[in-house]
Amino acid sequence: MLKVAIFASGTGSNFENIADDQTLKDRGLKIEILVCDRPKAAVIEKAKRREIPTFIIQPKDFENRNYYEQAIIKELVNYQIDFILLAGYIRVITTTLLDEYPMKIINIHPALLPLFPGIHGIEDAYNAGVTETGVTIHYIDEGVDTGPIIAQQKVPVLAHETLKQLEVKIHYIEHQLYPSVILNLLNK
Ligand code: GAR
């Protein structure tokens, strides 16, 4: 069994997609907890509906990032978490958490890293006029969307495609790629 925490800040479509993946469940993936830094994020309701405990925690309630992440670690240790999946978590992870979970934190990003890091990966690629973009899954380090790449999938950007259409395509790919990478981790 692999006990994971998912960190998310927003809509939670990746959270939902992973949580409902029966193959992952059958192979031993157990989402023990959702860690969320935004009390009004839609992902919280998605966790509630699936009876997955949510730990809501905000940096503003702590003196610094170190104390914030130490409080998260305390919670993760309670749940005996083996691995962390970031799914739209908008904060940079610091060494406090990285040292506790070395090479055990992965992230999904909606562009072909190292191109278009940050929180507007799809839009930035679209506005740059690229003819292809994609999705990246990578280990986390202290940078913004940096760290060793595990998997990438390319997506063509078609002429006359709208940003909305591209977003739909990217999310579709995300919902295929993240579970397949997690499945590989479970097989290791
Ligand atoms: C996803 O597109 C994910 O790739 C992106 O946030 C979105 C979350 O969507 N992550 C980043 O941009 C990381 N820099 P979701 O809440 O519906 O899963």
Give domain limits for the chain: 2-109+135-150+177-187
Which residue is closest in CA terms to ligand 1's atom 6? 88
Per-residue pLDDT at 183: 97
Q: What is the pLDDT of residue 172?
A: 98
Please count the residues of the chain. Answer: 188
Q: What are 152-183's pLDDT values in tens digits?
A: 999 999 999 999 999 999 999 999 999 999 99
Q: How confident is the model at residue 75 (pLDDT cuts 50, 70, 90)?
A: very high
Query: For residue 108, how far is its CA from the centre of ligand 1 (angstroms)?
Result: 7
Whether 138 is a known active-site residue: answer: no
List the binding residues for (6R)-10-formyltetrahydrofolate: 65, 107
pLDDT confidence band for 68 (50 / 70 / 90): very high
pLDDT tops 90 at residue 138: yes
Q: Which residues are annotated as a binding site?
A: 12-14, 65, 107
Expressed in angstroms and rounded, the spacing between residue 144 Cα and the centre of ligand 1 is 13
Residue nearest to atom 12 of ligand 1 (CA): 119
Taking the centre of ligand 1 as the mean of its atom positions, its distance from the CA of residue 182, in whole angstroms, is 16
Confidence at residue 148, expressed as pLDDT on a 0 to 100 scale: 97
Residue 62 in this model has a pLDDT that exceeds 90: yes
Residue 34, classified by CB atoms within 10 Å of its CB into exposed (0-12), middle (13-18) or buried (19+), is buried
Q: What phi and psi values does residue 14 have, to the nearest 5 degrees?
A: -70, -40
Ligand 1 lining (C-beta closer than 6 Å): 8, 10-15, 87-88, 108-110, 119, 121, 145, 174
Average pLDDT for 98-109: 97
Domain 2-109+135-150+177-187 in this protein, CATH class: alpha beta
If you average pLDDT over every residue of the chain, what do you get?
Answer: 97
Q: What is the pLDDT of residue 33?
A: 98
- State residue 144's pLDDT score: 87
- DSSP run (H or E) holding 129: none
Nearest to 85 by CA among 178, 176, 180, 186: 178
